[in-house]
Amino acid sequence: MNFKRFTHLKLPPEQYLRKNIHKYATICETNDTKNVGKRLEVQGWVRALRKMKNNIFLDVNDGTSSQHLQVVLNKNQKPENLNYGCSIVIEGQVAQAPNGRAELQAENIQVIGSCDLNEYPFLPRKQYESEYVRQFLHLRPRTRTFSSIMRLRSLASDAIRDHFSKHNFINVDTPIITSNDCEGAGEVFNVQPNSHELLAKMKKEGSTDATTTYFNTKTFLSVSGQLHLEACARALSKVYNFCPAFRAENSKSRLHLSEFYMIEAELAFMTSVRDLANEAELLVKSTMLRIIEKGALDLKFVQAPEPAWLNRAFGFITYQEALDTLNRHADKLAFPIKQGENFAKEHELFLVQHYGNVPVFIVDWPKECKPFYMQECDYDNNKVKALDLLVPTVGELIGGSVREDNYVKLKDKLPCNSNLDWYLQLRKYGNVPTAGFGMGFERFLQFILGVPNIKDVIPFPRWPYNCNL
């Protein structure tokens, strides 16, 4: 097909496409003093209301930024149901307030949705603890702090995708329903139909096990898309996903969720754990720079910690060096650590603090600590080419490794009844070494924003005994 014949086609101007869409100014646009003298229409929610002698002053926010617009309304124009929390549309002229900022002198105002303050859980000018706010997940986006976090989450998501696109990664949507447990820890949710009628009908067609009836095999919600990315990397070279993941852990800790989002990357022709660490460091730093550039107001409002680590190289030490450091400071730790054990959260956070609160990579882990798919170190077959990135606030943020690319070795390592013959077969046809890492998106947000609890950086968190919405 000759696609050149389409090059003359152009999109019609946006004004044409939007000719039937009523144009409202955003709060950011209206707050610009360049608009002084213009007549504009604004829509949003009342975040504060102050009554003076002749006028009412409203702080209005439309969710597009953390900024509020001051609206000045004559008392005679006040609608009966105008109060804190209600949604409104205002038409008026932009003027310059005594403090030099722009304000809207309202000429017409309409309440779209009233707000009953007798039942509304968030009162004006009152601060609430996160635990209290979390009881009202459906209303939580209306709080100023959480709306800032949601804008920063959106910005971070865009920045991550832009980073991968800029560096020639191909986005792959790995499956949410899968027949494998990538990590092999058994922390998976089973998937099967909820229809008894459907299951009964399919059983008549030959299936005897409800857990395998629909797909003819046991199926789970994915804990990781890594294995599928490995398949795609062997054709597309550099791939990534940004997908939900699910872990059936009985944990209510500040760092665990039953449903969360993972960013995973896989690179073909890579054999060095140092090169893999460089890729992970570049992702973290470039994303942070973009967030600072685009989200300064929200970062300031949520009081995000200053990222002094941006101008410093991440640490890079072996598991043995980390273990020796912990043992030298055993008197400062509540729990001792032994050779060959994984680090507890206390150990991770201590190591970060010890290395100047700069993220640090821990590499060359004992083989018994890590999953089957990791490649052994050249100098010691009891260790694997694995890395964990430890950061302030959360501890482990990124985990990755060079993958085992030897067919015979991988065959010996595969778990029994793993249903991974296809994964082994990848090593038979035009095989190449690959390496990759995964980063928990919510933990990344905790790290850069300094938010202690992971439940406060995701719109609707799910954890054991809690899935109310």
The 3-state secondary structure of 159-221, one letter per residue: HHHHHHHHCCCEECCCCCEECCCCCCCCCCCECCCCCHHHHHHHHHCCCCCCCCCCCCCCCEE
Whether 272 shows a pLDDT value over 80: the answer reads yes
Q: Which amino acid is at 94?
A: V
Segments in 273-318 forming alpha helices (H): 273-294, 296-301
Q: State how far the Cα of 79 lies from the Cα of 61, in Å rounded to an integer.
A: 18
> Any idea which residue has 């109060």 for tokens?
83
Contact by Cβ (8 Å): 88, 109: yes
Contact by Cβ (8 Å): 71, 103: yes
Tokens of 97: 């307030």
Q: What is the pLDDT of residue 428?
A: 95
Q: How remote is the C-alpha of 44 from its chain's centroid?
A: 27
Q: State how far the Cα of 116 lies from the Cα of 81, in Å rounded to an integer.
A: 9
Contact by Cβ (8 Å): 259, 462: yes
Q: What is the pLDDT of residue 12?
A: 65
Task: Give tens-digit pLDDT for 417-452.
Answer: 778 999 999 999 999 999 999 999 999 999 999 999
Task: Give tens-digit pLDDT for 182-225.
Answer: 666 668 999 988 888 888 888 777 666 777 888 888 899 999 99
Q: What is the pLDDT of residue 106?
A: 96
User: What pTM does this model have?
Assistant: 0.93
Q: What is the pLDDT of residue 183?
A: 67
Tokens of 30: 């209206």
Q: Is 111 left (phi over 0), alpha (psi -120 to 50) or beta?
A: beta
Mean pLDDT rounded to a whole number for the chain: 93
Whether 378 shows a pLDDT value over 90: the answer reads yes
By C-alpha distance, which of 355, 417, 429 is closest to 392?
Answer: 355
